[in-house]
Amino acid sequence: MALIQEIKDGKVVTDQLANNKKEETKNNFDKDMFLQLLVAEMKYQDPLEPTTNTEYVSELANFSQIEATQNVQSKMDEMTASNYVGKYVIINTTDSQGNQQYVSGKVDFLEKKDDGYYVSVNDGLYNIDKIETVADERYYTAMLTTKSFEDAVAKLPTLQALTLQDEEKVNAVRKLYDSMDEYQKQFINKESYDTLESLEKRISSLKES
C-alpha cells in the first residue's frame, strides 16, 4: 500500500506537526473569542463606569500567562515521554479481568492521545503514568539473555523422554548458560537451571549404561 503524506507549502507535514498546528489553532481561537468579548464589552460600556472593563484586561493578562505556562508544561511532558523510547521499562497495569499484572519490554515508539502519552511495549499501548521502572541497557540485555536461556530449556525433552540423540541439544543450552556473565546469571530462574542439570545427569547415566 502506498504511503500518502500531506504536503503543504512545499513541505511534508508530519503527524506531530499537524497536531501542533491544531493546538496552535485552538489556542488562537480561544484568545480571539476572549478579545471579541472584550471589544463588545467596551463598545456597550456604561460611560459612567468606564473602568469596569479593566477587569477584562486583567483577565486577559491572566489568560495569556496561564496559556504560556500550559504550553511550556506540554513541551516538557513531550520531552519526558520521548526519553522512554528505546528504554527497557516495567509497567504496572491490569488485564481484561481487572487483575494486576506487570508488563516489561523495550519501548518501540510514543503515541499521544487525548488523555496523555502512551508507549508501545510488546505490541501493546500503555499510559506513561503506568511505568514503574526504567532500566538501563545492561539490565535489558540480561533480561533478553535470561529469556533466551529459559525458552531453550523449556524446549528440551522431559527427563522421561530424553535419549542420547538429545545430547547435542542439551549441550547447546549449557553453552548458552556458560556464555552468560555473572550479572546475567543472577536473573536465571532456579527451576530452569535445575532442569538443565537433571537432563545433563540423565545423559551421563544413559551413556554409562
The number of domains in the chain is 3
- Which pLDDT score, from 0 to 100, does residue 33 have? 72
Are 146 and 170 in the same domain? yes
| Averaged pLDDT, 165-188 | 96
pLDDT band at residue 62 using 50, 70 and 90 as cut-offs? low
Are 59 and 100 in the same domain? no
88 touches 135 (CB < 8 A): yes
Q: In the listed set 135, 150, 165, which residue is the last one of a domain according to the structure?
A: 135
Are 99 and 144 in the same domain? no
Are 95 and 43 in the same domain? no
Are 73 and 14 in the same domain? yes
Output the pTM of the full model: 0.50
Are 131 and 146 in the same domain? no
pLDDT, averaged across the chain = 78
Strands (E), the chain: 7-8, 11-12, 88-94, 100-113, 116-121, 124-127, 131-135
Q: Is residue 182 part of a domain?
A: yes
Model confidence pLDDT, tens digit, residues 97-147: 888 998 888 889 988 888 888 989 999 999 888 988 888 888 888 988 999
Is pLDDT larger for residue 195 or for residue 82?
195
Structural domain for 193, as ranges: 138-208
